[in-house]
Amino acid sequence: MNILTAELLSKRFTENYLFENITFGIHEGDRIGLIGVNGTGKSTLLKCLVGLEGLDNGKVTTRRDLVIKYLPQNPSFDEESTVLENVLRGKNEKLSVLKSYEEILNALNHDHDDEKLQKAYQKIMEKMEQLNVWSIESEVKGILKKLGVPDIHATMNTLSGGQKRRVSIAEALIHESDLLILDEPTNHIDNEIIEWLEEMLKKRKGALLMITHDRYFLDRVTDKIFEIEDGNLYVYNGNYSTYLELKAQQQIDESGKQRKLKALYNTELEWIKRGCRARSTKQKYRVNRFDNLKASVKSDRQTEMSIDVATTRLGRKIIELQKVSKSYDEPLIKDFEYTLLRNDRIGIIGENGAGKSTFLKLISGELEPDSGIIDKGITTKVGYYKQENLIFNEDIKVIDYIKDTAEFIHTGSGEMLSASQMLETFLFDSTKQYNLISKLSGGERRRLYLLKILMESPNILLLDEPTNDLDIKTLSILEDYIDVFSGAVIVVSHDRYFLDKISEKLFVFTGQGNIEVHPGNYTSYTENKHRFIQEEVVVEKVVKEEKTLVKKKLTYSEKIEHDTIDEVIEALELEIMSLEDDMNACGSDFTKLQKLMNEKELKEVMLQEKYNRWTYLNEKAED
């Protein structure tokens, strides 16, 4: 069943259309990935669907009772409010009750003698029972804990950018919706959380529409791909792998069609060159047909987008790290040693805040180590793609920004290319080259910045989270460039597909300044890690069995304990049941309730200890 229908949607940006007359539908249960080059209007389309931006033409029709939840790339927060308040904001009655419950409970923890608060607590408890909100409370806290935000009462202004992003993901997941719309949900979150989010979205009921450059994520979560290209929207049924197969076949079919068009175009061109002008109806038809053919035939440069920039000569010594350490509030890098090799392809992974970006800043020379030496060869020329704080003069044209680096560059094959040609191969057509930088999208600016770095002809490439803002097509071009790049490459990334494509070695930041070096790409690392965990479990089991075999018989005191422990356990169980009855009967007396709860928790700890002791004594008695 169709839950949303978009008919003939058009949206113009400056003088050009982002998309024009596109029509599509979203059905119940659809899991759609929206892809396309940055600047083609993906985020704008999502905003149009939820009514945050107007359309130039067309209309969006939704099912009458449709509930849509939208997660933008840069969500806004009330910085003075708590994590819980931001997560539970909205009109959902159950979530509103849960929010009130947590607020009252938090207040009582600070002032448990306040009678007004005690009455409010009793009232909200009744509401919680009536609406059966307890399962939601468990889900909310579970999701936030899994996302690495355990303190639900922390104010938003105390969180890092990555933590705020995770709070916004929690909000999107917790609110029930028929259509969940996500704009780049995997940006700025760790691999472990991305894998967890995959599972959450696969289990979730309802339709999903999302923009993401994470190709593994697309492949595992989606069953339909929407692609925006040249102002049109194309629909491919299947996940990302299926899309690639269908796209490849389409390009094969298109290339055959293009060959025929080019042959016809060349014939018509010769006719035009001979000077035949539109004196008759037939001649007018041929001139018009020539113009149409000219528009239809794509250049080879358009269909073969790649970068092949010559690198600066690299000497014998590249970069050597000798017992390098760096700390802030806690150690990030401790006594790390490594000699960078000419053709190294290193991926860096680890939790946010573990020191990955700091490591690149040390290598680039932007930071100095607290101790140790970073020794660079005299021919080493670093190209450093930074994650943050990009500075652009927004009032200059795209082509002038690139010309400031080089008017012409040499390719690896010795060919000379102009700045304009390089921009074209990097997906900036002749029109966009003369746009002001202020007119570019965030992703287009990132692409432009990357091109500028590559045109400086570095022989060491440092990339800090390049996959956060670059589209899939640009990432594919970058992967091809790295494949033929003659220097060393070090990449910080959470994009598992990208790491698998480019890395041959991993630096794993495990915390407290420790860095583990693993051969292979991301998949081989995770497979080895899982195998190691399984082996540890087997070894632990064998050790436990061996210990069981050498157990001694019960001592005299243990035999007495073994004979009486059943009665002790039974007595503790009865005491806990009695305490539960007292708790139910204490009404609004919060002080008494709190005392009983504390006593019950203590008895439960004692009971668990006796359970463990019972198991031990019985296993030993059987020997």
Rounded average pLDDT over 116-122: 81
Comparing CA positions, the residue from 483, 496, 477 lying closest to residue 423 is 477
pLDDT over threshold 70, residue 582:
yes
Rounded average pLDDT over 167-185: 90
Report the alpha-carbon angle 422-423-425, nearest 5: 65
Q: What is the predicted pLDDT for the residue at 297?
A: 61
Residue with tokens 């690392």: 525
pLDDT digits over 306-362, tens only? 556 666 667 778 899 999 999 988 899 999 999 999 889 999 998 888 899 999 999
**552 pLDDT band (50/70/90 cuts)?**
low
Report the alpha-carbon angle 155-115-94, nearest 5: 50
Q: What is the predicted pLDDT for the residue at 612?
A: 81
Q: Return the number of other C-beta atoms located less than 10 Å from residue 622's C-beta.
A: 8
Q: What is the predicted pLDDT for the residue at 279?
A: 47
Q: What is the predicted pLDDT for the residue at 596?
A: 78
Answer yes or no: are the C-beta atoms of 553 and 623 closer than 8 Å.
Answer: yes
**579 pLDDT band (50/70/90 cuts)?**
confident
Q: What is the predicted pLDDT for the residue at 408?
A: 81
Highest mean pLDDT among 5-9, 74-78, 263-267, 384-388: 5-9
Q: Return the number of other C-beta atoms located less than 10 Å from residue 596's C-beta.
A: 20
Q: What is the predicted pLDDT for the residue at 39?
A: 84
Separation between Cα atoms, residue 356 and residue 361, nearest integer Å: 9
Highest mean pLDDT among 8-17, 87-96, 348-357: 348-357
Least confident of 23-27, 179-183, 577-581, 597-601: 597-601
Rounded average pLDDT over 411-437: 83
Report the alpha-carbon angle 207-243-208, nearest 5: 10
Separation between Cα atoms, residue 333 and residue 354, nearest integer Å: 9
Rounded average pLDDT over 84-101: 76
| Secondary element (H or E) of residue 324 | strand 319-327
pLDDT digits over 371-384, tens only? 999 999 888 999 99
**559 pLDDT band (50/70/90 cuts)?**
confident
Strands 408-410, 416-418: pairing is antiparallel
What is the distance of C-alpha 27 from the center of its chain? 25
Least confident of 45-54, 408-417, 429-438, 474-483: 408-417
Q: What is the predicted pLDDT for the residue at 9?
A: 95
Rounded average pLDDT over 272-291: 57
Q: What is the predicted pLDDT for the residue at 28?
A: 93
DSSP letter, residue 469: T
pLDDT over threshold 50, residue 278:
no
Strands 207-211, 31-35: pairing is parallel
Strands 505-511, 514-519: pairing is antiparallel
Mean pLDDT of the chain: 82
Return the higher-pLDDT residue of 50 and 304.
50
Rounded average pLDDT over 10-27: 89
Rounded average pLDDT over 149-164: 82
Rounded average pLDDT over 538-563: 61
Q: What is the predicted pLDDT for the residue at 271?
A: 63
pLDDT digits over 454-508, tens only? 888 888 999 999 888 788 888 888 888 888 888 899 999 988 889 999 999 999 9
Separation between Cα atoms, residue 85 and residue 77, nearest integer Å: 10
Highest mean pLDDT among 102-111, 214-223, 284-293: 214-223
Rg of the chain (C-alpha set): 31
Rounded average pLDDT over 198-208: 91
Torsions phi, psi of 2, nearest 5? -75, 125
Q: Return the number of other C-beta atoms located less than 10 Å from residue 279's C-beta.
A: 8
Cα distances (Å, whole numbers) of residue 550 to 531, 545, 619: 29, 9, 12
